[in-house]
A and B are shown apart, each in its own frame.
Chain A
Amino acid sequence: MPSFILQVANRILVGLILVFSVYLLFRGHNAPGGGFSAALVAGTGFSLFAIAEGPQPVRRALRVDPLVLVACGLLLAIAAGLLAVAAGQPYLTGLWWPAGPDNGAPALGTPLVFDVGVFLVVLGTILTLVLELEES
């Protein structure tokens, strides 16, 4: 039975939780966080959403099947490693942009892409299980 309080709280909380999850994902390289924790946070957020509104609205909000997220995440993680191979380095070597010594500017790198892959795999797996359990 849907609870009115939970539904109202859900509206505010889920958005905040998801924003926090993205924050954790991107700061992970320099401070506590990272793809795995971020996915757990996002998974908690979506689970809250599913408990408050039922699994169908979550599926609609996601637009894609959670298993697709898993597959995309795996592909992304593998592709991130292949970039190094394309550049003539061993598989999964981190490539950074801009290259060269660190000058304090925020650097973008393949480890971040890899971490996003981890995020998607873990989130997709959690959602697959939670939504399937909710529906059974």
Chain B
Amino acid sequence: MIVGRMTALLPLVLFAGMCLQVPAVVGGGVACLSWEWAPGMGVNADFIVDGLSVFFGLIISGIGVFVILFAADYLRGTLHYARFFVFLHLFLLAMLGLVFADNLITLFVFWELTTVLSYLLIGFDNENETARRHARQALLVTGAGGLALLIGFLLIGGLAGTYRLSALAELARVIQGHVLYLPILVLVFIGAFTKSAQFPFHFWLPNAMSAPTPISAFLHSATMVKAGIYLLARFHPVLGGTPIWMGTLVIVGGVTALLGSVLALGQSDLKRMLAYTTIMALGILTMFLGGKTTPALTAAVTFMLVHSLYKSALFLVVGIIDHETGTREVTRIGGLIRAMPVTAFGAATAAMSMAGFPLFLGFVGKEIMYEGALAEELFPAFATSAAVLSNALMTAVAGIVLIRPFLGGQRPTPKSPHEAPVCMWLGPVVIGSLCLIFGIIPDWVGRWLVEPAVSAINPIAEHSGLTLFHGVNNPLLLSILTLVLGACFYLIRRPLRRSVAALAAGMPVTANGVYELGMAATARTAEMLTGFIQNGSLHRYLVTILAVFTLTAAGVWALNAEGFFEPPLFPVLPFWQWLLVALMASAVGVVVAARSRILAVCALGVVGSGAALVFLAYGAPDLALTQLLVETLTLIIVAIVLLRLPPLAQAAGAPLSARWFDALVAVGAGTLVAALTMATTSGVLDRQLTEFFEHNSYLAAHGRNIVNVILVDFRGLDTLGEIVVVATAGLAGFALIAGRRR
């Protein structure tokens, strides 16, 4: 446990390091770091330190500290405790890599890393079938989006001639004017929407609540789902500002926000409720990234901070409630403020910020949000009403999350509640306090955190003007309307929950249902195909492979050959080589006619050894040695296997016609290979490579055995690949044999 807590030092140090960068980026400074990776392809490990990346980096590492502290206590005594921390830290680093990356390919690699690690984290409870299924769902949805994103990145790179992100903004006009702009936009949107759970890809996020609570707090407040938002923000200067960008983001974001906030009210599990409000928040962020005015972008960045803070605190609070009472059902808990006053403080500050009460950061965020919505270029009415409605619903949810568990009469719970250990409540209390402190000094937050990020998105942005009180204007009136509406929604929460739940249950088509249908269809098709192609008969595989090979190779040859090749003169061979040929031929006859397996295998060994002697006769001792050794080993292994097989007579019950067909295929393939060999050897061989190896083998590689020098030196990488194949085959064979034994 101590070690688990100690690991929080890593994000703490990173957080401190990024704090040091803040003064530089406030002045508009941009620092780039670069290491060569694959410079020939324009792929380098480029990193950028600007307002946007530092803003995200601070949120990721800062919240990471508290999540790790929390997890150290929360998961105490869990199986694979150490593994959890390895995954969590790797995820944190991948996330930081993603927001600091300045190269499309580097960014993509980190993007995929977060996808894979989130799979491991969501499915951490790997003996739970549901957790595994939900982890796979998150992996498939975000992974598919990642592939789309990769194609989009490659298109951008091909079009712009560089993968460097910071160089793309200047090329924005070229990219936006190109015919490929629309495909690029669609692909990037698919990547961002799947990752950030936008409608219609929102369904994986609530299901990902199968993860341990600290994971949900981290992945679904500050990191994983914000990656898509980050992507949209980062690409705003490159792809943004066009009508299609604005229209798509405002509509998709607005619909997602409304959907998320309505569905949140239909939940009774606190964690799932928070998950749906996360969808709402992501929708709002997407909607505001659609705009290009300073208020809209400021609203997006400010709400990003607001949401990351209150959501991580509330997730941690839910984790504490779950840990201390044994349930997360909102209808089964109450009056917890007496047992856990400190946690209640954290919950109260975070929930008030979520509801957007004055003096809290959420209020500031909401004001600027309404200012931004009213200033949207496209669909300002839709944006404003979506923002007001979903914020009002959010206020109601904040009330449910705060009032139901902590106030009222105490109810019997599976465990009798106590205050959580200090490492667990530290996060909610510190983050909750920040929600209040930042709300009191909004202009400070604006200058040091929000404005640098906004100006990284839009360099010509004006002063953001985050203040506590704007005077009586439209945003303030909308804020008051939101609170009143929220209070009404809170009062009718029970009928609302019932009707939303009934509505959700009665939907004929759901995104999740479509996903499940697709998965089932994929599994069925795969089963059918596998059953057809891999029917388990080695005999049929061989016949198919040989027949297809013979026909295609002969066909291609016949089409391309310029006349028939010169048949070689009848070869002049020493007597012993004729003897060898006769021996091999008769051995082949024995193989075909043999009635027992052991005889067939021995005869086959004679053929192989004969080939080894031929190699020896023509000056390839290495090849001969290997051939001979392989023959010996094959014989031994087959001998071990043979003891366990039925006699040949039983197996070879095939009708005569089938055997004639086999013979035809075998003879055809053999003839073709022989003809091909003759054709190749009858021409003049290019000796360039041979001469290179002969010349350099000893001088450059210190070896007289050219074959071996090629294997371990000139073509070392090939050999490395081959031994990986050997090792994999060994593992697969081991799994097959050992698996069958059990």
A residues with CB within 8 A of B? 28-37, 40-41, 43-44, 47-48, 51, 67, 70-71, 73-74, 77-78, 81, 91-92, 94, 96, 102, 107, 109, 111-112, 114-115, 117-118, 121-122, 124-126, 128-130, 132-136
Given A37-B622, A81-B716, A125 and B727 contact (CB-CB distance below 8 Å):
yes
CA distance A111 to B701 in the complex (A): 9
CA distance A125 to B726 in the complex (A): 7
Given A121-B727, A132-B737, A135-B741, A29 and B629 contact (CB-CB distance below 8 Å):
no
Which residues of chain B are within 8 angstroms of A43 by Cβ–Cβ distance?
Answer: 633
Q: What 14 new A-B contacts, CB under 8 Å, besides A29-B702, A30-B704, A124-B727?
A: A29-B709, A32-B707, A48-B636, A71-B727, A74-B723, A92-B717, A111-B703, A111-B713, A114-B716, A124-B730, A130-B637, A132-B733, A133-B737, A136-B644
> Which residues 625-684 of B sit at the A interface, judged by CB distance below 8 A?
625-626, 629-630, 632-633, 636-637, 640-641, 644
In contact, A40 and B708 (Cβ under 8 angstroms): no
Given A29-B705, A67-B734, A102-B702, A111 and B716 contact (CB-CB distance below 8 Å):
yes
Closest Cβ–Cβ distance, residue A46 to chain B (whole Å): 10
Instruction: Offer 20 A-B interface pairs, CB within 8 angstroms, sorted by A.
Output: A28-B705, A31-B705, A32-B621, A37-B622, A40-B626, A67-B730, A70-B727, A77-B719, A81-B716, A92-B717, A94-B702, A111-B712, A114-B716, A118-B711, A125-B729, A129-B730, A129-B734, A130-B637, A130-B640, A132-B734
In contact, B708 and A74 (Cβ under 8 angstroms): no
Which residues of chain B are within 8 angstroms of A115 by Cβ–Cβ distance?
Answer: 708, 711-712
Per-residue CB proximity of B724-742 to A under 8 Å, as 1/0?
A: 1011011101100110110
Which residues of chain A are within 8 angstroms of B629 by Cβ–Cβ distance?
Answer: 37, 40-41, 44
CA distance A120 to B630 in the complex (A): 16
Given A37-B625, A74-B727, A44 and B633 contact (CB-CB distance below 8 Å):
yes
Partner of B636, one of A44, A71, A78, A114: A44
Tell me the count of chain B residues lying within 8 A, CB to CB, of chain A. 43
Q: In this assembly, does B698 line the interface, its C-beta being within 8 Å of a C-beta of chain A?
A: yes
Closest Cβ–Cβ distance, residue A14 to chain B (whole Å): 13
In contact, A129 and B737 (Cβ under 8 angstroms): yes
Contacts between the two chains (Cβ within 8 Å), count: 147
Closest Cβ–Cβ distance, residue B383 to chain A (whole Å): 54
Closest Cβ–Cβ distance, residue A33 to chain B (whole Å): 7
Residue of A nearest to B715 (CB): A92
In contact, B702 and A96 (Cβ under 8 angstroms): yes
Q: In this assembly, does B720 line the interface, its C-beta being within 8 Å of a C-beta of chain A?
A: yes
CA distance A109 to B701 in the complex (A): 9
Which residues of chain A are within 8 angstroms of B737 by Cβ–Cβ distance?
Answer: 129, 132-133, 136
In contact, A34 and B622 (Cβ under 8 angstroms): yes
Partner of A40, one of B633, B699, B704, B730: B633
Which residues of chain A are within 8 angstroms of B705 by Cβ–Cβ distance?
Answer: 28-34
In contact, B740 and A118 (Cβ under 8 angstroms): no
In contact, B711 and A36 (Cβ under 8 angstroms): yes
CA distance A41 to B629 in the complex (A): 7
Given A77-B720, A115-B712, A133 and B730 contact (CB-CB distance below 8 Å):
no
Given A29-B703, A34-B708, A36-B626, A77 and B723 contact (CB-CB distance below 8 Å):
yes
Which residues of chain A are within 8 angstroms of B717 by Cβ–Cβ distance?
Answer: 91-92
In contact, B708 and A33 (Cβ under 8 angstroms): yes
Given A44-B633, A94-B701, A102-B702, A29 and B730 contact (CB-CB distance below 8 Å):
no
Given A32-B621, A32-B625, A102-B702, A129 and B741 contact (CB-CB distance below 8 Å):
no
CA distance A91 to B621 in the complex (A): 30
In contact, A133 and B637 (Cβ under 8 angstroms): yes
Q: Which 4 A-B pairs have the closest CB atoms?
A: A125-B730, A40-B629, A29-B703, A30-B704
Given A40-B626, A74-B727, A77-B723, A134 and B640 contact (CB-CB distance below 8 Å):
yes
CA distance A121 to B640 in the complex (A): 22
In contact, A47 and B723 (Cβ under 8 angstroms): no
CA distance A51 to B637 in the complex (A): 10
In contact, B632 and A132 (Cβ under 8 angstroms): no
CA distance A124 to B724 in the complex (A): 12
Which residues of chain B are within 8 angstroms of A132 by Cβ–Cβ distance?
Answer: 733-734, 737-738, 741
In contact, A33 and B712 (Cβ under 8 angstroms): no
CA distance A92 to B707 in the complex (A): 17
Residue of B nearest to A91 (CB): B717
CA distance A81 to B724 in the complex (A): 14
In contact, B640 and A34 (Cβ under 8 angstroms): no
Which residues of chain B are within 8 angstroms of A94 by Cβ–Cβ distance?
Answer: 701-702, 712-713, 716
In contact, B712 and A107 (Cβ under 8 angstroms): no
CA distance A91 to B719 in the complex (A): 13
Given A74-B724, A111-B703, A133-B641, A28 and B734 contact (CB-CB distance below 8 Å):
no
CA distance A41 to B630 in the complex (A): 9
Given A31-B705, A33-B708, A129-B637, A121 and B723 contact (CB-CB distance below 8 Å):
yes
Closest Cβ–Cβ distance, residue A134 to chain B (whole Å): 6
Given A109-B702, A129-B637, A134-B640, A34 and B734 contact (CB-CB distance below 8 Å):
no
Which residues of chain B are within 8 angstroms of A133 by Cβ–Cβ distance?
Answer: 637, 640-641, 737
In contact, A34 and B711 (Cβ under 8 angstroms): yes
In contact, A51 and B702 (Cβ under 8 angstroms): no
Closest Cβ–Cβ distance, residue A127 to chain B (whole Å): 9
Residue of B nearest to A115 (CB): B712
CA distance A40 to B726 in the complex (A): 13
Per-residue CB proximity of B283-323 to A under 8 Å, as 1/0?
A: 00000000000000000000000000000000000000000
Closest Cβ–Cβ distance, residue B324 to chain A (whole Å): 45
CA distance A47 to B697 in the complex (A): 35
In contact, B733 and A128 (Cβ under 8 angstroms): yes
CA distance A35 to B157 in the complex (A): 44
CA distance A124 to B730 in the complex (A): 8
CA distance A50 to B719 in the complex (A): 29
Given A67-B734, A130-B636, A34 and B712 contact (CB-CB distance below 8 Å):
yes
Among B701, B711, B716, max chain A CB count under 10 A is at: B716
CA distance A135 to B738 in the complex (A): 9
Which residues of chain B are within 8 angstroms of A41 by Cβ–Cβ distance?
Answer: 629
In contact, B719 and A118 (Cβ under 8 angstroms): yes
Among B626, B712, B713, B723, max chain A CB count under 10 A is at: B712
In contact, A29 and B729 (Cβ under 8 angstroms): no
Closest Cβ–Cβ distance, residue A76 to chain B (whole Å): 10
Given A96-B702, A128-B733, A117 and B723 contact (CB-CB distance below 8 Å):
yes
Residue of A nearest to B629 (CB): A40
Which residues of chain A are within 8 angstroms of B712 by Cβ–Cβ distance?
Answer: 29, 34-35, 94, 111-112, 114-115, 118
CA distance A40 to B698 in the complex (A): 26
Which residues of chain B are within 8 angstroms of A117 by Cβ–Cβ distance?
Answer: 723
Closest Cβ–Cβ distance, residue A109 to chain B (whole Å): 6
